[in-house]
Amino acid sequence: METEMKFKQLLTQYTGLQPENISNDMRFREDLSMSSLDFMTLLGDIEDEFDIEFEESDQVHITTVGEAIELLGRYL
Amino acid sequence: MTTYKLTPAQNMHNIWIHNYGTQQVSGVSIVAALKAPMEFSLLEECIREEYRRSGCLRLQFTKPDKKGNVKQYIVSKEKPMGEIKLVDLSGLTYDEADSTMQHWAYETFDGDNIPMCEFRLVKLPQGYNGLFVHMDHRLIDASGMVGIMGDLFGLYASKVFGTKQPDTPADFKEVLLKDLEKCSNERRLEKDRRFWAEQLDTLGEPLYSDIRGRGVLEASRQKHNAPELRAADIVLDDLFVAVKDYYLEPEPASRVMKFCERNQISPTNLLLLTIRTYLSKVNGGQEDITIQNFISRRSTIDEWHSGGSRTIMFPCRTVIGRDTEFLNAALEIQLLQNRIYMHSNYDPALIAEEMKRRYNTPDNTSYESCYLTYQPVSVSTNSGRLKGIPMLVKWFANGAATKKMYLTVSHTDRGEMKFSYHYQTACYDDKDMELLYYYMMKIMFKGINEPYLTVGEIMDSI
């Protein structure tokens, strides 16, 4: 839960939406209007925040907030 | 006084200033005017208020060291900005007024520890009134400039019509510090270094391609007596730049954007594919092509609303065979670009250094002839009562190009796509640009109409 909240707080900086208004089924591109640059920059911030390093092959499959949180969970 | 290092994006401009020996290469200028009477005293008040609101406008630089390195600092908002002149050009023809402003754009900010931006209030022909801004690119990029102009007109509308004041911009200093922290993060730096090294490990030394074909590289090979040379000379002593603009009409422009939307390809990547296909065609089918692409690194809300110079260029190098389908080629470029985005905090000067170290290329040579920037945002007045008033917006070339050909693609408020080619006259002429635009359109539309054609089939058919 703490991971999810931290992740959504990061996402707030990109979307302006409060964490409680970000649901896990939201899609980065279609629902949150994030460009590829935004998404990749967000991944970089997550890596810094959680001190992890994503495999590139994992990154391409993420389309929703829930998928990103699940992926993050696997690295922690 | 607290001084800070330059960010990689600022450093890119600083290196050009040092290498080309003039600040002129870092000038950026724009005029924005409304076809309406203006209360210039109020507009001046708004400019002074914007100067206090936007920290990037108050940036100054220390004296460069021997290598040209400078530090930056933010002047206190309490220190008043200098004089803002009102210049009346309304009695001139439009072309004469344009020529006057073009000369302002050629001016340089010479000296250290001095303001690096200048505003003028302007009365223009045909009833247009507004302001002209001339700045150093280390303070601002095009997106930042668009934001500041929008903010200024918002402030003006609030003073004249009592509309809501625009929101306070994000704190420039905070965003700057975050940027500096990111680019000095050792772990991140190492990851970026690995990524860029891997590009060279995998593909080896890049190969130059020119808008005019193989002759340019051959001439460099002869000059350096190096038949295997893969980079071509750049021009340092004649930086004069000319501009050729083309407008793609709203209907075909809309087809381009719909293709991008339908296939989830960003317009930048479609443009990169289009240019690389042209370069491949005129360079004997060369498959290894590099184009420098500018990325406007604005993702967080604060980054969008803090002004500053965040645009940075990275080489987009792809090796795409003739048999690759157009759509797949676009996706291949997109995949690479996405990987580059992840590493866009890196300083491109370090990539250039690494290539120089590995391949020992002669000084003042390059692997690229084309530079691209796609600029989706444009200056507009969305502030209540100003909305709908005809607006004149024009960006002026600084007159000194560091790049052989720099293409800016943007959208007009009439729904067109604007292709603005800035080229060094020492390298190209307007005929080259005409051909480039003509073939770019042929390639792009052939590709979006028949995305399953191969790149080779498209090259052969045009």
User: Is residue B389 domain-resident?
Assistant: no
Chain A contact for B345 (CB, 8 A cutoff): yes
For the residues B325-339, what does the mean pLDDT come to? 96
B401 neighbors B16 (Cβ within 8 angstroms):
no
Q: What per-residue confidence (pLDDT) applies to B382? A: 64
For residue B294, what are the β-bridge partners? Answer: B313
Co-location of B158 and B202 in the same domain: no
Residue B380 has pLDDT above 80, yes or no: no
Co-location of B108 and B192 in the same domain: no
Answer with the one of B140, B158, B176 that is the final residue of a domain: B176
Co-location of B359 and B451 in the same domain: yes
Q: What tokens does B433 get? A: 């640009």
Answer with the one of B152, B176, B200 that is the final residue of a domain: B176
Chain A contact for B338 (CB, 8 A cutoff): yes
Q: What tokens does A73 get? A: 């969970």
Residue B364 has pLDDT above 80, yes or no: yes
Identify the H or E element spanning B20: helix B8-20
pLDDT (tens digit, 9 = 90+) per residue, A27-38?
A: 998 999 999 899
User: Is residue B387 domain-resident?
Assistant: no
Co-location of B332 and B231 in the same domain: yes
Mutate to test the interface with A, among B260, B299, B303, B305 (most CBs of A within 10 A): B299
Better pLDDT: A2 or B425:
B425
Q: What tokens does B183 get? A: 């680019």
Q: Do A36 and B337 touch (CB under 8 A)?
A: yes
Residue A7 has pLDDT above 90, yes or no: yes
pLDDT bracket for residue B383 (50, 70, 90): low
CA distance B240 to B425: 6
Answer with the one of B176, B201, B235 that is the final residue of a domain: B176
Q: What per-residue confidence (pLDDT) applies to B236? A: 86
Co-location of B102 and B128 in the same domain: yes
CA distance B318 to B269: 12
Express as a percent the part of chain B with pLDDT over 90. 88
For residue B233, what are the β-bridge partners? Answer: B365
DSSP helix/strand/coil, B423: strand
B320 neighbors B455 (Cβ within 8 angstroms):
yes
Among chain A residues, the shortest Cα distance to B186 is held by A48
Closest partner CB to B342 (pick from A29, A40, A51):
A40
Co-location of B23 and B152 in the same domain: yes
Q: What per-residue confidence (pLDDT) applies to B378? A: 74
Q: Sort out which chain A residues have CB atoms less than 8 A from B345's CB and list them.
A: 44
Chain B contact for A29 (CB, 8 A cutoff): yes
Q: Sort out which chain A residues have CB atoms less than 8 A from B334's CB and list them.
A: 36
Residue B30 has pLDDT above 80, yes or no: yes
Instruction: Please classify residue A50 by burial: count the beta carbons closer than 10 Å to its beta carbon, then call 0-12 exposed, 13-18 middle and 19+ buried.
Output: middle
Mutate to test the interface with B, among A41, A42, A50, A51 (most CBs of B within 10 A): A41
Q: What per-residue confidence (pLDDT) applies to B296? A: 87
Residue B48 has pLDDT above 70, yes or no: yes
Q: Do B339 and A56 touch (CB under 8 A)?
A: yes
Q: Do A56 and B182 touch (CB under 8 A)?
A: no
CA distance B350 to B183: 12
B373 neighbors B406 (Cβ within 8 angstroms):
yes
Q: Sort out which chain A residues have CB atoms less than 8 A from B344's CB and list them.
A: 37, 40-41
Co-location of B326 and B243 in the same domain: yes
User: Is residue B382 domain-resident?
Assistant: no
Q: Could you tell me the CA-to-CA distances from B298 to A61, B7, B183, B303, B368 in Å, in that order?
A: 23, 14, 15, 5, 25
User: Is residue B1 domain-resident?
Assistant: no
Q: Sort out which chain A residues have CB atoms less than 8 A from B185's CB and list them.
A: 48
Q: What is the dihedral of CA B273, B279, B281, B282, to 10 degrees?
A: 160
Co-location of B162 and B257 in the same domain: no
Residue B391 has pLDDT above 90, yes or no: no
HSE toward the beta carbon, residue B142, CA cutoff 13 A: 20
Chain A contact for B360 (CB, 8 A cutoff): no
pLDDT (tens digit, 9 = 90+) per residue, B168-177?
A: 999 999 999 9
Q: Do B297 and A37 touch (CB under 8 A)?
A: yes
DSSP letter at B139 equals: T
pLDDT (tens digit, 9 = 90+) per residue, B418-452?
A: 999 999 999 999 999 999 999 999 999 999 999 99
CB contact set of B314 (below 8 Å; sequence gap of 6+): B292, B293, B295, B340, B344, B346, B348, B351
Q: Do B188 and A48 touch (CB under 8 A)?
A: yes
User: Is residue B386 domain-resident?
Assistant: no
To 5 degrees, how large is the angle CA B200–CA B204–CA B206?
Answer: 90
Q: What per-residue confidence (pLDDT) applies to B384? A: 64
Co-location of B167 and B220 in the same domain: no
Count of the separate structural domains present in chain B: 2
Q: What tokens does A30 get? A: 């279609």
Q: What tokens does B438 get? A: 């003509």
User: Is residue B235 domain-resident?
Assistant: yes
pLDDT (tens digit, 9 = 90+) per residue, B409-420?
A: 999 888 999 999
Residue B336 has pLDDT above 80, yes or no: yes
Chain B contact for A52 (CB, 8 A cutoff): no
Q: Could you tell me the CA-to-CA distances from B459 to A75, B277, B405, B455 in Å, in that order?
A: 45, 7, 21, 6
Would you tell me how many other CB atoms lie within 10 Å of the CB of residue B397?
19
pLDDT (tens digit, 9 = 90+) per residue, A43-68?
A: 999 998 898 988 878 777 789 999 99
Q: Sort out which chain B residues have CB atoms less than 8 A from A14's CB and list them.
A: 299-301
- ipTM for the complex shown: 0.92
Residue B4 has pLDDT above 90, yes or no: yes
- CATH number for B405: 3.30.559.30
Q: What are the structural domains, with CATH classification, of chain A? A: 2-75 (1.10.1200.10)
Q: Per-residue DSSP letters for B76-96?
A: -TTSPP---EEEE-TTS-HHH
Q: Which domain holds residue B51?
A: 8-176
CA distance B462 to B457: 9
Q: Sort out which chain A residues have CB atoms less than 8 A from B302's CB and list them.
A: 13
DSSP helix/strand/coil, B144: helix
Express as a percent the part of chain A with pLDDT over 90. 62
CA distance A5 to A20: 9
Q: What per-residue confidence (pLDDT) applies to B389? A: 83
- CATH number for B164: 3.30.559.10
Closest partner CB to A48 (pick from B185, B302, B341):
B185
User: Is residue B426 domain-resident?
Assistant: yes
Beta strands B288-296 and B311-319 are antiparallel
Chain A contact for B293 (CB, 8 A cutoff): no
Residue B390 has pLDDT above 90, yes or no: no
Please tell me the pTM assigned to this model. 0.91
Residue B319 has pLDDT above 80, yes or no: yes
pLDDT (tens digit, 9 = 90+) per residue, B177-223?
A: 999 999 889 989 999 999 999 999 999 999 999 999 999 999 999 99
Beta strands B27-35 and B391-396 are antiparallel
For the residues B264-292, what does the mean pLDDT come to? 97
Co-location of B191 and B172 in the same domain: no
Co-location of B172 and B190 in the same domain: no
pLDDT (tens digit, 9 = 90+) per residue, B293-302?
A: 999 889 999 9
- The C-alpha of A67 sits at a distance from chain B's nearest C-alpha, in angstroms, of 18
Co-location of B73 and B194 in the same domain: no
Among chain B residues, the shortest Cα distance to A36 is held by B338
User: Is residue B129 domain-resident?
Assistant: yes
Q: Do B341 and A37 touch (CB under 8 A)?
A: yes
